[in-house]
Structure 1
Amino acid sequence: MEAAKAPVVMEGEKGESRKKKCRKTWHNGRGGPEEATKHRRLKVLVKKKMCGILAVLGCSDDSQAKRVRVLELSRRQVIFLSLKHRGPDWSGLYQHGDCYLAHQRLAIIDPASGDQPLFNEDKSIVVTVNGEIYNHEELRKKLAHHKFRTGSDCDVIAHLYEEYGEDFVDMLDGIFSFVLLDTRDNSFVVARDAIGVTSLYIGWGLDGSVWISSELKGLNDDCEHFESFPPGHLYSSKSGGFRRWYNPPWFSEAIPSVPYDPLVLRRAFENVRLMTCYPINT
């Protein structure tokens, strides 16, 4: 793809505060605003509600009408049968030349400042992400000389790419799907977590553009061909195809069998996975 010459364009809007909504709707003596917030956050985690992403890369049409179309498709992922099942906190669109990145955010870590897209220091690398990076604090220590703009767990992705290139994906422990745009050469990388916990689809338009979406309804009207993005893979514009990044050592000659405490094991899994800036009740 040719280097982009058009200026960067960003559009976005905040969703209504979930806590404010809880104050409006919590009634019948079932609890106060704080309890409502806890209840809603638990429902979010149990139902695995996630953010929604949509990207159009290498699009020949950079008109205002196209920007409106991409943003409308992004919102369609959120409002389906009148259910906001993806990302009520932030709706935004980023454009750089012939590339569009749209995002619908559900805030879990750093709800105040983690709106997307996310950038590196000079904003030459742009990322839109759906998911959670569980080892983000450990990864930040490896990037001590980098300056982070937010406390979001996904903020490490742009900086890891800047430091390690495409091979950084194997360093991530989490559930994720993301689109990363390197504006220095207008290249991009798309990746999905190891077993495909987060949904992701890829399609190709008649103009040669590559479309990425969290849901099929973001692709079926505009792509001549689309398919599920394979788990544990990345798609690189530099190579023009898929590459498996997840290659675990499955085989082990000795399988240990030792006594264990199920409760301790459960708590260990919860501590590793249930990270959020909101309280959780059971």
Structure 2
Amino acid sequence: MLGIFKEKLVNAPKELNSPASLNSSNNKPKLSHEILHNFMSNNSSNAFCMNFGHDALLAYSPLNQPSIHQRLFSGVDNIYCVFLGSLHNLSMLNKQYGLSKGTNEAMFIIEAYRTLRDRGPYPADQVLKELEGSFGFVIYDNKDGTVFVASGSNGQIGLYWGIAADGSVVVSENLELIKASCAKSFAPFPTGCMFHSEHGLLSFEHPTKKMKAMPRIDSEGVMCGANFNVDSQSRNPMMPRVGSEANWATWG
């Protein structure tokens, strides 16, 4: 999976961008089209890409061999989702949302996102806490031009994010692709967290706490992006409920 989103769409944490990326002579960050070329050339012939103008793209390649973790892609009403992993309680969730039994995880995530975007009755952190299993997903809402990323709390699905040469945010589960694409400007996407392109990073496990950036130092002693952890000494306002403008699409 690969998502690339231009800087004007995504307000990424500034700590992701390492000055060492520009100073390295061996490994410099790549431009978006170079990253996409690498992804497509290194994956199976059934990999595909969707471009949304010049601002966003999603690329996807199905698994070539059986795995307990799925890769799924779905698009409904101009909302697109790449989902990695599996939800143990999908049947219950589909019933709760009034969806058919054949609805897979990616389709469910889109429906849940759309419900919450359109002033659903639950805050986003509560919805994500109800997802039982291993998951990581990226949503691009082409109607609103927004990006939503989340990673499950058990850490079994690892996502990574970084900054490309043109300032775009790159998201993938492929660590080697992220390293080659973003040089020193990358980090693991924090587990138990969700990110919205306009309003930033939030822990859905601890929604009342702020996130704190901790510098990452690589084996060469160079600063390499940042890890993001929950700041136990901080406090965020509670996420507003139904009737508020704040939800998956517009919390803040």
Same fold (TM over 0.5): yes
Instruction: Look up the match of 1:178.
Output: 137
What code does the residue aligned with 1:171 have? E
Instruction: Look up the match of 1:140.
Output: 94
Contact 1:204 1:211 in 2 (8 A): yes
Structure 2: gaps of 5 or more residues: 9-30, 118-123, 208-252
Contact 1:54 1:74 in 2 (8 A): no
Give the Å deviation of 1:108. 7.0
Instruction: Look up the match of 1:230.
Output: 190
Contact 2:135 2:152 in 1 (8 A): yes
1:160 aligns with 2:112: yes
RMSD: 3.1
After superposition, the C-alpha distances for 1:155-199 in whole angstroms (9 at most, x for unaligned) are 200000001244432231110111101111111011111121111
1:243 aligns with 2:206: no
1:55 aligns with 2:3: yes
- Report the Cα distance in structure 2 between the residues aligned to 1:202 and 1:74, rounded to whole angstroms: 18
After superposition, the C-alpha distances for 1:110-152 in whole angstroms (9 at most, x for unaligned) are xxxx9853123x2x211011111221111111222x579x642
What code does the residue aligned with 1:234 have? M
Structure 1: gaps of 5 or more residues: 1-52, 79-87, 249-282
Distance 1:132 1:71, change over 3 A: farther
Distance 1:115 1:152, change over 3 A: same
Q: Compare the two structures and name the one with the higher strand fraction.
A: 2
What code does the residue aligned with 1:140 have? N
Distance 1:219 1:134, change over 3 A: same
What code does the residue aligned with 1:203 have? G
What code does the residue aligned with 1:229 have? F
Instruction: Look up the match of 2:59.
Output: 102
Aligned length: 173
The structure number with the bigger radius of gyration is 1
Q: Secondary structure at the match of 2:187?
A: strand
- Out of 152, 176, 179, the residue aligned to residue 217 of structure 1 is 176
TM-score by length of 1: 0.53
For CA contacts below 8 A with separation 6 or more, give which structure has more relative contact order.
2
What code does the residue aligned with 1:235 have? F
- Report the Cα distance in structure 1 between the residues aligned to 2:151 and 2:41, rounded to whole angstroms: 21
- Report the Cα distance in structure 2 between the residues aligned to 1:194 and 1:171, rounded to whole angstroms: 11
Percent identity between the two aligned chains: 24
TM-score by length of 2: 0.59
Q: Secondary structure at the match of 1:163?
A: helix
- Report the Cα distance in structure 1 between the residues aligned to 2:148 and 2:40, rounded to whole angstroms: 19
1:202 aligns with 2:156: no
- Report the Cα distance in structure 1 between the residues aligned to 2:37 and 2:100, rounded to whole angstroms: 30
Give the Å deviation of 1:154. 2.9
Q: Compare the two structures and name the one with the higher helix fraction.
A: 1
Give the Å deviation of 1:218. 1.4
Distance 1:155 1:215, change over 3 A: same
Give the Å deviation of 1:96. 1.1
Distance 1:197 1:140, change over 3 A: same
1:73 aligns with 2:21: no
Distance 1:199 1:89, change over 3 A: farther
1:126 aligns with 2:80: yes
